[in-house]
Amino acid sequence: MKKFLLILVFILITIAPVLSYLSLFQVFSFLLPHIDIIKTIARYQVGGLFVIMLFVWVYGFSQYKILEYGMHIIAGFISIVFALIAMVGICFDMYSMLCFILLCLSCLLSIYCVSVPVLAVFQKKMRGPWEYIIVTIIFGSSLTFIINGYASVLVNETFGINAKYLPFSTILSMFIVLSPFFVIISFVVLFFIIVFNEKTDLFKNKDGDNKFYLINALVGVYVLFIVSLGVGTHISKNFERVASTFDFDSHYYCVFSEKVDGVIFLDSQYSKVLTYKEGRKPLYKVMTCNIK
């Protein structure tokens, strides 16, 4: 009975965000007529869960000696704070760059928090540091090459120019490329934590007390799960927020036939520029720069 209830809890906290993400794929197009309801449920469900987690986190912080944990666990604590602040803003439709930045920082800290114990398990299977270094070089270089390639393609498809002109958007694109894998990994780990946590000491500290450690791991993985789904679901909007803030220059000496919100110079003569204007279709257009 306990296992059934735990599985039910797992389904309830993941079903709406997962359905929202799956609606992007052609095979699940039957979800599109209901996508607004699904997204509304997902938004307030996640917001409510994070409010509950905040109270649990504060209780754990007051009961346990937080600073005695490892750095990756402390990073998980910080990621929870950032995620809670950002999710409150999103649930009340306050879509600001601050919320986006906090979610990105929260996600990166959550990746660090979750990856350390997972990598520790793999390290135990290796014969020595040399094997770990070889595996890291081989898989790290291969993954970097592949991810950079697909990230550049994604930037080109969105903006119509080479990715070298949009360094910040390219970084976001790399995370977008990885987001399906983060979704799958965090989904599996989340299921493992909720349903099978009593069968492992992976989340116990040196004193064998896994209460707050487990709570932190649970929230850290859930943050990664939700942020990965969100990044993958709102690709064009996320690109627009990052590019308009960091990649496009809002101050320029060009004269255009229409007012634009930002420019990226594409040549050394400053004659061709990629322009951005909020609400315009298309959002991004190559235009000729006439100097004032």
Distance CA 96, CA 116 (A): 31
Q: What pLDDT was estimated at residue 260?
A: 92
Q: What pLDDT was estimated at residue 91?
A: 56
Residue in the block written with tokens 């000491």: 201
pTM (2 d.p.): 0.71
Distance CA 217, CA 212 (A): 8
3-class secondary structure, 265? strand
Q: What pLDDT was estimated at residue 92?
A: 56
Distance CA 226, CA 86 (A): 12
Per-residue pLDDT of the chain (292 residues; tens, 9 = 90+): 666 676 776 777 777 777 777 776 777 777 778 778 877 777 777 777 777 776 766 666 666 666 666 777 777 777 777 877 776 666 555 556 677 778 778 778 877 877 777 777 777 777 767 777 787 788 878 888 999 999 999 999 999 999 999 999 998 898 888 888 888 888 888 777 777 665 544 445 455 555 566 666 677 777 778 777 877 777 888 888 888 888 999 888 888 888 999 999 998 888 899 999 998 888 999 999 887 6
Distance CA 175, CA 166 (A): 15
Domain extents for the chain?
2-247, 248-292
Q: What per-residue string of b and e applies to 133-142 under the rule 16 or more CB within 10 Å gives b?
A: eeeeeeeeee
Distance CA 34, CA 38 (A): 6
